[in-house]
């Protein structure tokens, strides 16, 4: 049954049909009819952001912490172009986002009309798919297809551009169940022969390792559950990318910590020395592999991914399995159990003792200093004081982000929201707002650098308006710390424009926004200050003055392989000796 | 449907996987891409090639099923085996793309191109041009006392050869369609 209504009404009806409860948006001329419909209903909550980039990042935070698609509504022209960074961010990190943009009326398209931009042209390379809807009769069907594309297969952002005359015109509404979604149906079941090959490899491997990524989280809670079962039953060590943190609990003894450029020593050496690498929903990103021709030279590699283009893109794999992680892991587990739950116990035991040697290096060790707060210490204390809370963490981009990944532990998927692929400074503030909107009673902390934080700080106003008690934990080194680190290590200590001058007084800034501001610079005050932040019922901006010239280690300098890790203060002499056999 | 039916975007089921994927050899492949004929679909395909730095040697597109609104894009591209595999997988990811066929590896295929070639000149050169056109089975589709337009169809190599021969005989303009290709047999 179809019914007649205006395009604007259809938008709201389609969102309702899709089970949308929250939209992040910003109005303007080309979306006024839709805003008028938003005004006349109460089922869908509209969150007014302060910048369209913030709307997309907030929707990303919402999506990653709920598993549901994030929805954004913005106007034409500048509204749409402001959304581009967020769309690219969501594309790189495979986050399901549906962006609805207003457009000038169809009869004015191409005339350089006021606030006209070629939105589908501009966003074609930064969306999974996009549509310009020129006929009201096709509007609701297109929105339903947009949700389908955003959420199925490898998730990603989509955009529907809706000219204003299409919003005003009447047309017939297509319900969700009747919408055409058949043309996009990615393969979810893995090839059984290759799965069997992987199971056999698991049974005999001497030095296996799971290398997991954001795909596990994207596949849904069942995938994380199955991964846990498989790791625990086989006793195979597991590491994960930045994107995959939380899919497997950090408190487990099988957990090696994050891998990659700033990954843990034991994780990277396990990757380098393994004889079986099982990539589950990761994509051999260059931050992970380091120098490609020296990447894990002795391993056979399996790769489970729903996106065929991820397979053999940068690293040639021996066992490619195209399918949904949840489906494939279920098959792997069933087959492995049916064949008698075999592993190479003796070799695994040996492998673990090797890993224990690497662990003993304690690569994250640091000496707290009495005078200034070391950023690692700030995060270690934050972890200690918040880990038992119902906690969600977002971050900005830089050293603080890597330290957060290293020093905070994640027990569940969807608890860690960070800009991985694009590395977008300015992600964290709006993402934290989006997470808090989805989880009003949870503790939501944005671990930030002072420079990144300034990039989208206007969203604090959103937080205040909607009483989202986000905690902004700023590790303030008065530096573009990560840039400074690279300049120190790679550019002869010429610190070209990598410091933050004329910083605002964050406490006063907090007050100006109507939040609470806390300044902390003495390690002795740190715990009390963090507790004060946690106890405050409302948004907090915590200005944590930290050591200015701290470097983030371990670090694999770009262009180097995993076994060329820099460890900073920790000595590696013995450990490298002990590991030599595996590494060559 | 071709005998070697390749699932959309799949690399696993491709006969191509039997060959080493990571090699430095540059290969030229002809891909047939079946797409929904909707606004922007060609831009998506071209944008993929330019955005990811792939080569387009030739590209043709036209609607081949007017009822189903399906177009067939024939694209000739050059790259290492790994890049060719990536191109196919990336094409397969585009939502309006229904099928991607690598005609170069899926058995034998025929490739044809049509060109219009204008020659200016008089006297002996004009006669020679006509004679060569006859050998190449090119047709005269327009003529004045000082010019001819030849229409030639054939493989890109044949068209190249004909154009090269025409150059000293007064070639002034060439228009080529790009390659259309189909697999042989059923
Ligand atoms: C939008 C954007 N611009 C530039 C960069 C490059 N960049 C990466 S980290 C960084 C410095 C971040 O400084 P801050 O937020 O203070 O974090 P810190 O590294 O000091 O912890 C810069 C400029 C980026 N990632 N994103
Ligand atoms: Mg900083």
Q: Which of B9, B21, B47 sits opposite A125 (nearest CB)?
A: B47
Mutate to test the interface with A, among B93, B98, B99 (most CBs of A within 10 A): B93
pLDDT at position A45 is: 98
| pLDDT tier, A260 (very low <50, low <70, confident <90, very high otherwise) | very high
Burial A6-45 (b: 16+ CB within 10 A, else e): bbbbbbbbbbebbebebbbbbbbebbebbbebbeeeeebe
User: Within chain B, what is the greatest distance between any pair of CA atoms?
Assistant: 60
- What per-residue confidence (pLDDT) applies to B19? 45
Please give the full DSSP string across A510-523, using - where no structure is assigned: HHHHTSEEEEE--G
Is the CB of A89 inside a 6 Å radius of any atom of ligand 1?
Answer: no
pLDDT tens for B134-145 read 999 999 999 999
Parallel, antiparallel or unpaired: strands B70-79 and B97-102: unpaired
Q: Bridge-partner residues for A280, per DSSP? A: A212, A304
Model confidence pLDDT, tens digit, residues A413-446: 999 999 999 999 999 999 999 999 999 999 999 9
Direct distance between the N- and C-terminal alpha carbons of chain B, in angstroms, rounded to an integer: 8
Peptide bond into A554 cis (omega under 30): yes
A39-43, A285-289, B149-153: which has the minimum mean pLDDT?
Answer: A285-289
Among candidate residues A114, A46, A36, the one with its CA nearest the CA of residue A76: A114
DSSP A69: P
| Best mutation site among A395, A402, A451, A495 for ligand 1 pocket (most ligand atoms within 8 Å of CB) | A451
Enumerate the residues of chain B whose CB falls inside 8 A of the CB of residue A308: 9-12, 89, 92-93
What is the chain A residue with the closest CA to B98? Answer: A183
Q: Does residue A66 have a pLDDT over 60?
A: yes
Q: Which residue has the higher pLDDT, A22 or B12?
A: A22
The pLDDT confidence band at residue A2, using thresholds 50, 70 and 90, is low
Q: Determine the pLDDT at residue A562.
A: 85
The residue with greater pLDDT, A400 or A577, is A400
Comparing CB atoms, the residue among A128, A307, A320 nearest residue B12 is A320
Q: Under DSSP, is residue A352 helix (H, G, I), strand (E, B) or coil?
A: helix
pLDDT for B12 equals: 37
- By annotation, the residues of A acting in catalysis are 52, 114-115, 164, 482
| Predicted local distance difference test score (pLDDT) of residue B9 | 38
Q: Summarize the confidence of residues A220-243 as an average pLDDT.
A: 98
Per-residue pLDDT at B133: 97
Give the ipTM.
0.90
- Mean pLDDT over residues A321-347, rounded? 98
Nearest protein Cα to ligand 1, atom 1: A425
Other CB atoms within 10 Å distance of the CB of residue A570? 15
CA A498 to ligand 2 center in whole angstroms: 9
CA distance A44 to A53: 21
The terminus-to-terminus CA distance of chain A in angstroms comes to 68
pLDDT band at A582 (very low <50, low <70, confident <90, very high): very low
Closest CA relative to residue A34, chosen from A3, A68, A79: A79
8 Å CB contact between A553 and A375? no
| Whole-number Å distance between alpha carbons of A178 and B59 | 36
Q: What's the pLDDT band for A569 if we cut at 50, 70, 90?
A: low
Q: Helices in A235-324 by DSSP H: which ranges? A: 265-273, 286-289
- Residue A580 scores a pLDDT above 90: no
Ligand 1 close to Cβ of residue A330 (< 6 A): no
pLDDT reported for residue B5: 35
pLDDT, position A564 = 84
Contacts of A69 (CB under 8 A, 6+ apart): A18, A20, A63, A96, A97, A98, A147, A150, A151, A155
Q: Which of B7, B11, B95 sits opposite A312 (nearest CB)?
A: B11
**Interface mutation target, options B5, B14, B20, B40, chain A, most CBs of A under 10 Å:** B40
Mean pLDDT of A465-475: 98
Is A48 a residue whose pLDDT tops 90?
yes
Percent of chain A at pLDDT above 70?
97
Q: How far is B64 from chain A (nearest CA, A)?
A: 18
pLDDT band at A213 (very low <50, low <70, confident <90, very high): very high
Q: Tell me if A33 sits within 8 A of A102, measured CB to CB.
A: no
Asked if B10 and A312 come within 8 Å (Cβ–Cβ), the reply is no
Mean pLDDT by 10 residues, chain B (186 residues): 34 40 86 96 97 96 97 97 96 96 95 97 95 97 97 97 97 97 92
In this predicted structure, what is the pLDDT of residue A573? 44
Using the CB atoms, write b or e for A94-109: b if 16+ within 10 Å.
Answer: bbbbbbbbbbbbbeeb
* pLDDT value for A565: 87
CB atoms within 10 A of CB A501: 6
Using a CB–CB cut-off of 8 Å, the residues of A that contact B are: 120-121, 124-125, 128-130, 132, 149, 183-184, 187, 191, 194, 307-309, 311-313, 316, 320, 322
Summarize pLDDT for A293-302 with one digit per residue, the tens. Answer: 899 999 999 9
d(CA A181, CA A159) in angstroms, rounded, equals 16
Q: Is the pLDDT of residue A356 over 50?
A: yes
CA A543 / ligand 2 centre spacing (Å): 11
pLDDT, mean over chain A: 95
């Amino acid at each position: 049954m179809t019914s007649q209504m205006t395009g604007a009404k259809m938008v709201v009806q389609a969102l309702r049909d899709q089970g949308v409860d929250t939209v992040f948006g910003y109005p303007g001329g080309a979306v006024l009819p839709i805003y008028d419909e938003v005004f006349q209903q109460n089922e869908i909550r509209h969150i007014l952001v302060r910048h369209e980039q913030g709307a997309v990042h907030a929707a990303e935070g919402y999506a990653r912490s709920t598993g549901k698609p994030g929805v954004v509504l913005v106007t034409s022209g500048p509204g749409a172009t402001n959304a581009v960074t967020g769309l690219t961010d969501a594309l790189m990190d495979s986050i399901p986002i549906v962006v609805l943009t207003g457009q000038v009326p169809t009869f004015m398209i191409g005339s350089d009309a006021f606030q006209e931009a070629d939105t589908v042209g501009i966003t074609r390379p930064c969306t999974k798919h996009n549509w310009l809807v020129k006929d009201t009769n096709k509007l609701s069907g297109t929105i339903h297809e947009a949700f389908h594309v955003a959420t199925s297969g490898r998730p990603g952002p989509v955009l529907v551009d809706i000219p204003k005359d299409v919003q005003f015109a009447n047309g017939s509404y297509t319900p969700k169940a009747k919408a055409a979604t058949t043309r996009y149906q990615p393969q979810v079941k893995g090839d059984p022969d290759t799965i069997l090959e992987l199971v056999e490899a698991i049974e005999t491997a001497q030095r296996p390792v799971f290398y997991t990524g954001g795909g596990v989280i994207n596949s849904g809670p069942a995938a994380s559950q199955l991964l846990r079962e498989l790791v625990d039953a086989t006793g195979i060590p597991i590491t994960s990318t930045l994107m995959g943190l939380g899919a497997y609990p950090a408190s487990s003894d099988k957990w090696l910590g994050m891998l990659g450029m700033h990954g843990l020593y034991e994780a990277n050496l396990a990757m380098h020395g393994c004889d079986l690498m099982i990539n589950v929903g990761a994509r051999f990103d260059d931050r992970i592999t380091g120098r490609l021709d020296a990447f894990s030279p002795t391993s056979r590699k399996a790769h489970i991914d729903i996106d065929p283009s991820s397979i053999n893109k940068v690293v040639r794999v021996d066992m490619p399995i195209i399918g949904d992680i949840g489906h494939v892991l279920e098959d792997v587990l069933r087959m492995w159990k049916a064949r008698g739950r075999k592993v190479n116990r003796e070799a695994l035991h040996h492998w673990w003792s090797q890993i224990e040697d690497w662990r003993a290096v304690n690569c994250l060790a640091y000496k707290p200093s009495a005078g200034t707060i070391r950023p690692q210490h700030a995060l270690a204390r934050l972890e200690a004081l918040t880990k038992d809370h119902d906690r969600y963490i977002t971050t900005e981009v830089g050293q603080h982000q890597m330290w957060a990944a290293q020093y905070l532990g994640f027990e569940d998927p969807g608890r860690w929201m960070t800009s991985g692929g694009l590395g977008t400074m300015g992600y964290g503030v709006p993402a934290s707002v989006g997470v808090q909107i989805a989880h009003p009673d949870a503790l939501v902390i944005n671990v930030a650098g002072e420079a990144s934080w300034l990039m989208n700080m206007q969203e604090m106003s959103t937080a205040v308006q909607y009483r989202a008690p986000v905690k902004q934990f700023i590790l303030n080194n008065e530096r573009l710390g990560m840039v400074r680190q690279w300049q120190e290590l790679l550019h002869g200590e010429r610190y070209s424009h990598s410091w933050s001058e004329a910083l605002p007084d964050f406490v006063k800034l907090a007050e100006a926004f109507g939040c609470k501001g806390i300044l902390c610079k003495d390690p002795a005050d740190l715990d009390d200050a963090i507790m004060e932040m946690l106890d405050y019922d409302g948004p907090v901006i915590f200005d944590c003055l930290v050591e200015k010239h701290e470097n983030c280690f371990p670090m694999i300098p770009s262009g180097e392989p995993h076994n060329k890790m820099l460890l900073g203060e920790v000595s590696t002499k013995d450990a490298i000796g002990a590991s030599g056999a595996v590494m060559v | 449907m071709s005998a070697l039916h390749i699932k959309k975007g799949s690399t696993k089921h491709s006969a191509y996987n039997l060959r080493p994927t990571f090699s430095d050899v540059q290969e030229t492949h002809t891909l047939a891409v079946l797409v929904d004929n909707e606004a922007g679909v060609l831009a998506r395909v071209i944008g993929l090639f330019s955005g990811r730095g792939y080569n387009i040697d030739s590209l043709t597109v036209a609607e081949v099923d007017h009822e189903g609104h399906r177009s067939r894009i024939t694209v000739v591209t050059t790259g290492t085996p790994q890049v060719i595999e990536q191109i196919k997988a990336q094409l397969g990811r585009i939502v309006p793309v229904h099928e991607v066929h690598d005609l170069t590896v899926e058995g034998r295929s025929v490739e044809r191109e049509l060109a219009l070639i204008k020659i200016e000149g008089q006297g002996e050169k004009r006669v020679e041009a006509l004679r060569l056109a006859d050998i190449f089975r090119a047709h005269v589709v327009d003529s004045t006392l000082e010019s001819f337009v030849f229409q030639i169809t054939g493989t890109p190599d044949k068209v190249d050869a004909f154009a090269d021969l025409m150059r000293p005989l007064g070639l002034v303009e060439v228009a080529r369609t790009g390659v259309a290709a189909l697999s042989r047999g059923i």
